[in-house]
Structure 1
Amino acid sequence: MSDHERQPARFPWPPVIYLAAIAVAATLGIFYPLAWFGPPLSDILFAIGCLLIVGFVILDVQAMRTLHKAGTAILPTRGADAW
Structure 2
Amino acid sequence: MKKSSFYTAIATATLTLITIQTGFAQEKGKQEPPSATELIKEMDANEDGKLSKDELKGPIKNDFATIDTDEDGFLSLEELKNAPKPKRGKKQ
Pick the TM interval, shorter chain: 0.3 to 0.5
TM-score of the pair, normalised by structure 2:
0.34
Greater helix fraction, Structure 1 or Structure 2: 1
Please, what TM-score do these two structures have when normalized by structure 1?
0.37
Which structure has the bigger radius of gyration?
Answer: 2
Q: Whose strand proportion is higher, 1 or 2?
A: 2
Which structure has more relative contact order (CA 8 Å, sep 6+)? It is: 1
